[in-house]
A and B are shown apart, each in its own frame.
Chain A
Amino acid sequence: MGADFDLYVRRNTWLHHLDPRVKLLFVVETSLLLFVWPTIWAALAAILLCSAAFRLAQIPRRSVTAIYRTMLPLATLVFALSALFGTAGDGNPVWLQAGPLVISPGSVLQGALLALRLLALALIIFVWLFTTDQASMVRGFHALRLPYDWALTLALALRYLPIFAGLFSQVRDAQQARGLDLEQRGLLQRLRAYRPVLVAMIINALRQSERLGWALEARALGAGGITRSVFRPLHLRRADYILLTVLVVGLVISVTLRLI
C-alpha cells in the first residue's frame, strides 16, 4: 500500500508553489478557450503549453507518457468515428463514400480536432493534478467559500481512498489464503466469488468509520460556540499575481478577438 491514488508529484518548483485557486483558474480558462477557438492550432497550442508546464514542473517523462497511453485508445476512437461518419457538407470534396461511410478532408479534420482537443483537456487537468497536493486542493476549495464540512468530507474521502484500496487487497489475500478461488472465468462467477471479500470490506469500513467519527470528536470538531480558525490561510504571492494577470489579459484578448 502507498499513496497510489495520489497523482501529486512532489517537486520544488514555482508551479508547485502557485496558489491552488490560480491554477484552478488556469484549468477552467484554458479549457474554455479550447471551445472558444475550435481549431486544431488552438488544441496543439494547448498541448504544447502543457508539455512546457510539465517540463517546468519537472514531471518525470514516465508520468507524462502514462497520460498519452491512457488517452490514446479513446482519442483514436473519437478520431475514427468522426472521420468515418462525419459529414462533408455541400460542395466540399469527398474522398470516399460507401453507404453511410463518408471520408472527406472536412471529416478527417473534424476528427483530428476532436481527438486533439480531448488530449489537450486531459493534459490541462493533469497539470493541476500533478502539481497540487490534496491538502492544497482542499484549502483552495475552502478558500473559494465551499462549506468546511464539504471540504473536510472531500479531504477524508481522498485520504481514505488509498487506505481502503490497501484494505481491499489485504482482505482479498486473506480470503484467497483460505481457498477462495478468485481466478475464475465468467464475469458472473467472479462477481459471486468476490462477495465474501466485499462483505469483509464493508464490515471493516463500517468499523473504521465509527472510530473515525470518534476520533474527529476527540479532536474537538464541532466544539460549541467556537468559530474555526485556519492554519496557514492562502495568500496570493507575486508569481500568483503575475499568472493571474496573464490569465485575465489572455481571456480578455481572446474573447475580444473572437467577437470581432
Chain B
Amino acid sequence: MTVDIALENLYYAYPPPMQGSEAIPVLQGINLEIGRGESVALLGRVGAGKTTLCMTLNGLVPQATGGIFRGNVRVLGLNTKEHPVADLAQHVGLVFQDPESQLVQMRVEDEVAFGPENLGVPAAEIEERVTWALEAVGLAAYRDRSPLLLSGGEKQRLAIAAMLAMRPRVLVLDEPTASLDPVGKAAVFRVLQELRRRQDITIFMATQEIERITRFADRVLVLHQGQIVLDGPPASILAQVPKLEELGIGAPQIMELAHLLSQRSKHRYHFTGDAQAFKELRRRARKARLHKAHGGLPPAVPPPALRPNPFADRSQVTVENVSFAYADGTPALRNVSLILHPGDFVALLGPNGAGKTTLVRHLNGLLRPASGRVLVERQDTRTTGVAELAHLVGYVFQNPDHQIFAPTVEEEIAFGLRVQQLPATIVSRRVNEVLERFGLQPYAGTPPALLGFAQRRQVALGAIIAMHPNVLILDEPTGGLDWRSRQELLALLSSLNALGHTVVLVTHDMRLVAEHARRAVVLVDGRLLFDGDTRELFRQREVLAQAQLALPPVTRLANRLSAEGLPPDVLTCAEFADAWLARLRKGARRANMRSHGRTSGSGAAVAAGKPAHKGKTGRGGNKGQGENGR
C-alpha cells in the first residue's frame, strides 16, 4: 500500500487567545497512516479537534495559525512544515465547512478555473479541467451562474469541483454538509461516493453524518480529546453502540436498534445496513410464524411516548389567513392559518424555500403579514414592536454568531434582561441560573467570540432562555451539533416544555421530530399542507413525498416489514423493539395484529387554502386513544 498521508506523533496547541492565558492543546499524540485511494471518515464531538486535524493536512496548521506544533505530517511524502500551503495545494484539496467563505469568484466556471490559474495551467487545459470538474459534481449546466445564487448543497459541490480542478491526489473535507438541508447533503454524498468508486483520489472527511457514512467510508476514525480512539471498518466501529454513545457521537439508528433488540431478547442481532437488517428481520419473522402461538395476545401496540397537551383548548399564538410576499413579489406564505396552544411541542417541516423561516418570523413580529393577522397572547404583531414581543417569544437563530456581540458571556446573557429594564437582582439571578444550567460559569468573564462553536451556541440559547419567553422558537437548532450536545439540547427543551413553555422547532431532522415533537406542521410552497399529530404525518405518504421528507431509518424498516405484521408508523427504536418482540411472541396470529392499531387519527391533510385550525387536532388519535381518559 502506498501511504498518502502519514502523521507521526502529532501534537498541536493553538496560540493563547488573549495575553496571559494558556495555549489550548487540541491534538495530543496522533499517529496515523492513510493509504492511496482510501475513503476515511473522521468522527468526533464538536471541539474534538477535527477541523484542526483537517487543516494540518495542507499545512494551514501551523503555517497560518501559529501555535505549538510537534511531530510530523507528511502528505505524499512532503513535510507540511517545509512546503508553503499554496504549493501543497496542488496535492491536497481542502473543502471547508462554510460555503460562503471559500467561494471567491462571481461565476461558477471562473470559480473552478481560479485554482488552475494560480497553478499556471495553460488556458486550453483549464477549459478541459473546468468541464471535467463541473461534470464530476453534476453542475455542468451551471457554468454561467453566480455562485451567490446557488443553494447550499450546490455551493459545496462547487467548492469540491474547485478543488478537483487542481487535480489533487488527496481531498480533505471538513464537515462539508454540516450546514446543508437533506437534499443538499444527499447530493454532496452522491458526489463523494462517485469519487470513491473511481479510487484515484484519497478522501479524508470530518463529519457528523453518522447515518450516511456506511455507504461512503472504507474506514472510520473517532477523534476524542485530541486522540484517535477508534479506527476500523465502518461495520465494526458503528456497531459499538455503547462505546460511541460514551464518546458522545452516537450510532446510526439501525445499529441502536440492533443493540436494543439484543438487550431485550436472547438473540444477538447484528445489522450492517438497512437492507441487511430488513432481510435478517424478515427471515426471523417468517421463522417465528412457523411456531405455534404461545397463549393470548400480547399488548398489541406500544403506548405513545409523549403525553397529550393539557392546554390544547387554549390559544397562545394565532395565525389567521396570513399571506406574505417578498419585496420582489415572490409569494412566501399563502393564506396560512395556525393556532399554537400553550405547552405545544411543534416541528415545522418542509423543503427549502417552503416558507418555514418566513412563518416563524411572523410569530415574533420580525415580519408583518401583508394580509391576515398574527396574535401573540392577544397582541396584534402589526401594532406591537418586535422588541416588545421579545419577552413573550424567544427566537434562537440558526447561527449563534449573528447575535453575539457583548464583551463577556455574562453581559451577553444579561443583555435581553437589561433591555427589559428588570431590577438588577433579578437580572443577576437569572444570569446565574443560565450560567449554571449550561455549565458556563468558568467562562462568565470570557468574550463569547473566543469560545468554541458549541459553547457559542449555548451562550446564544442561554441568552434567550434567560428572558423566560413563553414561546421558544428554534431555527435548525441541531445543525452542526454532535450527538451528545443534541441530546442535551433536547432534554433541556423537553424540560422547558414540561414547565409549560411552547416550543417550535424549524428542522429537517426527522428523527428529532419522531422522538420529540407531538405535533407536526408541514409547509410546501408557502401553503400549509399538514397540521396534526406527528404519528399521523408519518402515515401520510403523499404529504411526506410532496414535502421531500424522509422517514427515519427505523420507521422505514418497520414500513418494509409491515407485511410481516409490524405497524407502519413506528416512531422510535423503543417502539420498534416493543412491536417486534410482540410480533415474535404472537407468531402465527399475525393477521389479527395487522388489522389492529390502524384506526386513523383525525389530523388529516389540510386542503390547500382551507383554514387549518378547523380541521386540526390530531392529538390523541390512534395510539393515544387509551390516554384520553386520563
Interface of A toward B, CB cutoff 8 Å = 2-3, 6, 133-135, 138, 152, 155-156, 158-159, 162-163, 167, 170-171, 173-183, 196-197, 199-200, 203-204, 207-208, 211-224, 226-233
Contacts and interface: CB of A to CB of B under 8 A. Distances in A.
A220 B115 contact: yes
Contacts of B166: 219-220
A218 B449 CA distance: 25
A219 B162 contact: yes
A228 B420 contact: no
A29 B265 CA distance: 87
Interface in B60-104: 60, 64, 84-87, 89-90, 93-94, 96, 98, 100-102, 104
B110 A174 contact: no
A159 B106 contact: yes
Given A156-B104, A179-B387, A230 B148 contact: no
Contacts of A179: 387, 390-391, 416, 419-420, 467
Interface residues of B, number: 69
B116 interface: yes
Interface stretch (B38-46, B118-126, B220-228, B343-351): B118-126
Nearest to A231: B113
B419 A180 contact: yes
Interface string B445-475: 0000100000000000001100100000000
Contact of B87 (A170, A174, A223): A223
Given A135-B106, A177-B390, A207-B449, 14 more contacts: A6-B146, A155-B105, A159-B105, A159-B106, A162-B148, A170-B397, A171-B403, A179-B416, A183-B386, A199-B405, A218-B96, A224-B86, A227-B120, A231-B116
Contacts of B86: 217, 220-224
A200 B123 contact: no
B41 to A, nearest CB: 21
A171 B403 CA distance: 6
Contacts of A180: 387, 415, 419
B100 A163 contact: yes
Contacts of A178: 390, 403, 415-416, 419, 463-464, 467
A207 B98 CA distance: 11
B381 interface: no
Contact of A231 (B127, B149, B403, B449): B127
Contacts of B105: 135, 155, 159
A219 B386 CA distance: 43
A229 B148 contact: no
Given A215-B104, A230-B123, A232-B123, A196 B415 contact: yes
Contacts of B113: 231-232
B96 A133 contact: no
B404 A218 contact: no
A167 B397 CA distance: 13
A134 B146 CA distance: 10
Interface string B389-427: 011001101010111111000000001100110000000
A211 B119 contact: no
A226 B118 contact: yes
Residue among A135, A174, A227 with max Cβ neighbours from chain B (10 Å): A174
A203 B404 CA distance: 9
Contacts of B100: 163, 208
Contacts of B116: 229, 231
19 contacts: A3-B149, A134-B106, A135-B110, A152-B104, A174-B402, A176-B387, A177-B397, A178-B464, A179-B419, A183-B386, A200-B403, A204-B401, A213-B64, A218-B94, A219-B114, A219-B115, A220-B115, A222-B86, A229-B122
Given A217-B89, A224-B86, A211 B405 contact: no
Contacts of B419: 178-181
B232 to A, nearest CB: 30
Given A176-B366, A215-B101, A231 B385 contact: no
Contacts of A215: 96, 101-102, 104
B56 interface: no
B126 A231 contact: yes
Nearest to B393: A177
Contacts of A196: 405-406, 415
A221 B397 CA distance: 35
A40 B385 CA distance: 52
Contacts of A219: 89, 104, 114-115, 118, 162, 166
B119 A177 contact: no
A9 to B, nearest CB: 13
A177 B101 contact: no
Given A178-B419, A180-B387, A171 B118 contact: no
A194 to B, nearest CB: 11
Contacts of A211: 96, 98, 101-102
Contact of B148 (A163, A175, A176): A163
B616 interface: no
Nearest to B63: A217
A200 B89 contact: no
A217 B117 contact: no
